[in-house]
């Protein structure tokens, strides 16, 4: 098994992919809820590790052992999902959700534009 590492400094890194890969490891190795953040933080390198250390420090000394996976995931994605990625996701969402403003093909053929 080769766990994902996340640097937080490479343009082509996908933070959601990192989270998804770590979750796969949780299932295979049967990582308990109490150890998930600790295991994920071990895979953080470079800029990302510095962010994590500062994030935990800002929460206070008592917070580190009780930080939940959900809390970590939310903070991690808020920090490392770039506006560029967010905009792309929003555009894809709108493409899927927005109905076409074009009339059906049959109507255009019989009634014109």
DSSP 13-38: --HHHHHHHHHHHHHHHT--GGGHHH
Helix, strand, or coil (residue 6): strand
- Per-residue model confidence as pLDDT tens digits over 30-45: 999 888 998 888 888 8
Whether this model's pTM surpasses 0.85? no
> What's the pLDDT score for residue 91?
42
**Per-residue buried b or exposed e for 89-110, using 16+ beta carbons within 10 Å of the residue's own CB:** eeeeeeeeeeeeeeeeeeeeee
> What's the pLDDT score for residue 92?
44
Q: Is the pLDDT of residue 14 over 60?
A: yes
Phi and psi, residue 44, nearest 5°: -85, 130
Contacts of 59 (CB under 8 A, 6+ apart): 67
- Per-residue model confidence as pLDDT tens digits over 76-105: 898 888 665 555 444 444 444 445 555 554
Residue 2 token pair: 């080769």
- Per-residue model confidence as pLDDT tens digits over 42-80: 888 887 888 888 988 888 766 555 788 999 999 989 888
Cβ atoms within 10 Å of 24's Cβ, excluding its own:
12
> What's the pLDDT score for residue 80?
83
Residue 4 and residue 18 in contact, taking contact as beta carbons nearer than 8 Å: yes
> What's the pLDDT score for residue 70?
92
């Amino acid at each position: 098994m080769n766990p994902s590492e996340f640097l937080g400094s490479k343009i082509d890194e996908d933070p959601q992919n990192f989270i998804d890969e770590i979750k796969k490891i949780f299932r295979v190795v049967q990582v308990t809820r109490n150890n998930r953040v600790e295991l994920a933080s071990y895979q953080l390198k470079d800029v990302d590790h510095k962010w994590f250390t500062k994030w935990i420090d800002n929460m206070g000394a008592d917070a580190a052992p009780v930080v939940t996976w959900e809390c970590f995931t939310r903070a991690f994605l808020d920090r490392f999902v770039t506006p560029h990625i967010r905009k792309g996701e929003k555009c894809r969402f709108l493409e899927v959700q927005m109905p076409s403003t074009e009339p059906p093909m049959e109507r255009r053929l019989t009634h014109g534009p």
